[in-house]
C-alpha cells in the first residue's frame, strides 16, 4: 500500500522510523513538513529524508508543499499527522477533504479536524467509498476505536469514562504520592517534559474535553461540540482535598465522562476508590466503556509518545489495507 505523510513532528518521525524498521508492506510516496515536501511514486528513501530533516531542518524540496503532496501524490492513504489546531482544524481538514475527494483513505492523529468536522468528513468518506480512521486522536497507543468498532460490536454503549490527559494525571499522581501542591507538581511535570510552558490546554481539561467529543461522536453519532462539554480543570485543586480522599482509600483523577441517558458530558476532578480500574498512575491513560452485554471494559496504556502514536496510525493503515482494500 502506498501512503503519503503530512507532518514531520514527533508523530511523523516516529511513523517513518517504524515503517523503515519493520516489514509492513507500506511504501511512502509523499512526505511534507511545514516548509517543504517530497514526492516519489516509486517510494521515498526514508533514511535520506530522516537525514535531510536532521541536518537541513527540512524533509524535501522547498518549492513543494503539503498541498502538492495531497493533490498530486500517488498514494492509497493519506496520513495526516500535523499538529492539532483545535480552533479551526485547518489546514488539516482541507487536506483530508481533498484526499477523500481523490478517492484516498485518510488516517490521522489530528484531534482538531475530528473534533470539529467529524460528521462532514465521515459523510464525504462514505460518498467516495473510502475510510477515515483516527485511532491516534484518543488515548495514544490504546486501541479504543478498534475496540468500539469491532471488539464490542453488538453492544450498546451506555457510558464512557476516561483519563484522557497524561499531563494532568501525572500532576495528580505526584500530589497524592508526595503531598506536593499543585504548583510544585506542575513544576515537576515541566522538568520531566510532560507539561508545556503554557499548560492551560492540559490542566484546564480542554485536551481531555476534545477527546471526549471525539469519543462521543464516534459512539453515539450525536455531533456534540467542545462547547457542549462541562469542563473543570485540576488547577484549583488543593492537596488537602487529595489527602482527604487518600485517607478514605480513594484518590482524585481528572475524569472525562459521557452518559447520554443522564445528559452528562463533562470533564472534572472526581473522587474514585484507589482500586478502581480507571485509577492509573503518572502519564498513563485509561478508558472505561460501559456496555449492555460486556459490562465495563477498561483499556489502559500510554496516552502519548512518538512510537505509541505511530502504533495507532499503523494499526489504522493495516486495517485499511486488510479490510477496506479488499472491497476494491
Q: By the criterion CB under 8 A, which residues form the site for its own copies? A: 18, 22, 24, 135, 141-143, 146-147, 150-155, 274-275, 277, 279-281, 284, 286, 291, 293-302, 305, 307-308, 310-312, 314-315, 317-319, 322-323, 326-327
**Which residue numbers are catalytic?**
211
Minimum CB separation of residue 157 from its own copies in Å reads 12
Q: Which residues contact 223 (CB under 8 A, 6 or more apart)?
A: 118, 119, 217
Burial of 121 (0-12, 13-18, 19+ CB in 10 A): buried
C-alpha cell at 241: 482535598
CA gap 252, 210 in Å, rounded: 21
SS3 230: strand
Q: Which is nearer to its own copies, 87 or 326 (CB)?
A: 326
The secondary structure of residue 156, as a DSSP letter, is P
Minimum CB separation of residue 278 from its own copies in Å reads 9
Residue 308: how many other CB atoms lie within 10 Å: 19
Minimum CB separation of residue 268 from its own copies in Å reads 23
SS3 70: helix
Q: Which is nearer to its own copies, 10 or 147 (CB)?
A: 147
Q: Is the dihedral of CA 82, 24, 319, 143 positive or negative?
A: negative
Minimum CB separation of residue 172 from its own copies in Å reads 13
SS3 109: coil
Q: Which is nearer to its own copies, 256 or 310 (CB)?
A: 310
CA gap 256, 228 in Å, rounded: 13
Q: Which is nearer to its own copies, 78 or 284 (CB)?
A: 284
The secondary structure of residue 90, as a DSSP letter, is T
Contact call for residues 137 and 214 (beta carbons, < 8 A): yes
Question: Nearest to residue 94, comparing CAs of 113, 110, 77?
Answer: 113
Q: Which is nearer to its own copies, 101 or 290 (CB)?
A: 290
Minimum CB separation of residue 154 from its own copies in Å reads 4
CA gap 28, 46 in Å, rounded: 8
HSE at residue 317, side-chain half, CA atoms within 13 A, is 27
Minimum CB separation of residue 296 from its own copies in Å reads 7
Q: Which is nearer to its own copies, 207 or 316 (CB)?
A: 316
Alpha helices in 147-250, H assignment, sequence order: 166-178, 182-191, 200-203, 206-220, 239-247
Amino acid at each position: 500500500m502506498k501512503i503519503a505523510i503530512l507532518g514531520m513532528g514527533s508523530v511523523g518521525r516516529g511513523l517513518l522510523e517504524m515503517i523503515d524498521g519493520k516489514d509492513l508492506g507500506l511504501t511512502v510516496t509523499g512526505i511534507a513538513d511545514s516548509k517543504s515536501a517530497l514526492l516519489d511514486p516509486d517510494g521515498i528513501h526514508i533514511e535520506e529524508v530522516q537525514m535531510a530533516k536532521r541536518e537541513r531542518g527540512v524533509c524535501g524540496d522547498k518549492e513543494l508543499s503539503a498541498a502538492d503532496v495531497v493533490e498530486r501524490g500517488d498514494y492509497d492513504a493519506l496520513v495526516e499527522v500535523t499538529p492539532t489546531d483545535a480552533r479551526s482544524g485547518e489546514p488539516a481538514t482541507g487536506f483530508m477533504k481533498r484526499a477523500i475527494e481523490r478517492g484516498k483513505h485518510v488516517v490521522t492523529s489530528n484531534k482538531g479536524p475530528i473534533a470539529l468536522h467529524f460528521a462532514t468528513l465521515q459523510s464525504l468518506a462514505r460518498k467516495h467509498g473510502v475510510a477515515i480512521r483516527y485511532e491516534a486522536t484518543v488515548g495514544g497507543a490504546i486501541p479504543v476505536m478498534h475496540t468500539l468498532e469491532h471488539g464490542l460490536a453488538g453492544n450498546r454503549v451506555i457510558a464512557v469514562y476516561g483519563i484522557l490527559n497524561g499531563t494532568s494525571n501525572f500532576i495528580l499522581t505526584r500530589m497524592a504520592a508526595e503531598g506536593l501542591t499543585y504548583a510544585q507538581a506542575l513544576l515537576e511535570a515541566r522538568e520531566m517534559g510532560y507539561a508545556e510552558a503554557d499548560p492551560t490546554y492540559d490542566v484546564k481539561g480542554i485536551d481531555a474535553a476534545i477527546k471526549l467529543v471525539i469519543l462521543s461522536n464516534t459512539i453515539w453519532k450525536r455531533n456534540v461540540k467542545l462547547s457542549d462539554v462541562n469542563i473543570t480543570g485540576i488547577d484549583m485543586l488543593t492537596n488537602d482535598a487529595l489527602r482527604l480522599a487518600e485517607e478514605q482509600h480513594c484518590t482524585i483523577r481528572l475524569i472525562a465522562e459521557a452518559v447520554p441517558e443522564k445528559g452528562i458530558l463533562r470533564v472534572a476532578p472526581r473522587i474514585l476508590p484507589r482500586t478502581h480500574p480507571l485509577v492509573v498512575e503518572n502519564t498513563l491513560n485509561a478508558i472505561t466503556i460501559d456496555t449492555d452485554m460486556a459490562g465495563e471494559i477498561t483499556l489502559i496504556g500510554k496516552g502519548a509518545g512518538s512510537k505509541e502514536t505511530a502504533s495507532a496510525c499503523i494499526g489504522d493503515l493495516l486495517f485499511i489495507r486488510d479490510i477496506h482494500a479488499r472491497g476494491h
